[in-house]
C-alpha cells in the first residue's frame, strides 16, 4: 500500500478515536478513579479487543473479495454512507447540550473490562467494515491490507488513549472531564472531517 493511502486512512480514523465515546469514557474513568497505570491497563484491554475485531474483519473481507468483487464494491459504498452517517450524528450531537458523565466502574481488572468494552461494542466492528474497504485494492492481498490498516488504527488508539490516561491521572479532580463546550467542539470538528472524508472517498 502506498504512503498516501495510509496517511489518508490515519486522518480519517483520527476523529473517531478522539471523539468521546464508550471506550474513551471507560479509560478516563479508570485513570481518574485509580492511576495512570489503571488507565493504561484499560487502554491495553480496549486495544486487545480491537485486535480481535481486526482478525475477524481481515478474514471476512478476504473471503468477500474472493467470492465477489461486486459484493465488495457494494460494501465499500455502504461504508461511505455509514461514514457520512457517523459524521452527521457527531454534528447533531455537537449542537445538543448534554452532561458528560463518567461511567461508575470499579478499578478491579481494568484490562479485562477494557477488552469486554471493545468486544461487546458492535460499533467497533461496523467501523472496521465501513472504513477499511475504502482503502483496500482488489489487486493486492486483502488480509494483508486489512491487517496493515488495523495496525495503524490500533496504534493510534494506543498512543492517544495512553497519553490521555497519563494526563487525566496527573490532573484528575472531581470535575476532571472536559467541559460540554469542549465536547461539542471536538464532536463538531470530528463530524465535519468524517463527512468530508466520506465525500472524498465517494469521488475516488
**Who contacts 127 (Cβ-Cβ below 8 Å, separation ≥6)?**
13, 16, 86
Helix (H) or strand (E) holding 95: none
3-state secondary structure of 117: helix
Per residue in 157-176, pLDDT tens? 999 999 988 888 787 654 44
Q: Is the pTM of this model over 0.85?
A: no
Question: What angle is formed at CA 175 by the lines to CA 173 and CA 181, rounded to 5 degrees?
Answer: 135
Least confident stretch, 13-27, 100-114, 152-166: 100-114
| DSSP 8-state code for residue 140 | S
Amino acid at each position: 500500500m502506498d504512503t498516501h493511502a495510509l496517511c489518508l486512512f490515519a486522518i480519517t480514523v483520527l476523529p473517531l478515536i478522539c471523539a468521546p465515546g464508550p471506550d474513551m469514557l471507560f479509560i478516563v474513568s479508570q485513570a481518574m478513579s485509580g492511576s495512570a497505570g489503571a488507565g493504561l491497563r484499560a487502554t491495553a484491554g480496549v486495544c486487545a479487543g480491537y485486535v480481535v475485531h481486526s482478525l475477524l474483519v481481515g478474514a471476512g473481507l478476504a473471503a468477500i473479495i474472493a467470492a465477489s468483487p461486486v459484493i465488495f464494491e457494494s460494501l465499500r459504498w455502504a461504508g461511505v454512507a455509514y461514514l457520512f452517517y457517523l459524521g452527521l450524528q457527531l454534528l447533531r450531537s455537537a449542537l445538543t447540550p448534554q452532561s458528560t458523565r463518567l461511567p461508575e466502574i470499579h478499578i478491579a481488572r481494568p484490562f479485562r473490562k477494557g477488552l469486554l468494552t471493545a468486544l461487546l461494542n458492535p460499533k467497533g466492528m461496523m467501523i472496521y467494515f465501513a472504513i477499511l474497504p475504502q482503502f483496500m485494492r482488489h489487486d493486492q492481498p486483502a488480509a494483508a491490507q486489512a491487517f496493515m490498516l488495523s495496525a495503524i488504527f490500533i496504534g493510534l488508539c494506543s498512543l492517544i488513549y495512553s497519553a490521555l490516561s497519563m494526563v487525566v491521572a496527573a490532573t484528575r479532580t472531581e470535575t476532571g472531564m472536559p467541559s460540554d463546550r469542549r465536547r461539542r467542539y471536538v464532536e463538531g470538528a470530528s463530524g465535519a472531517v468524517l463527512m468530508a472524508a466520506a465525500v472524498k472517498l465517494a469521488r475516488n
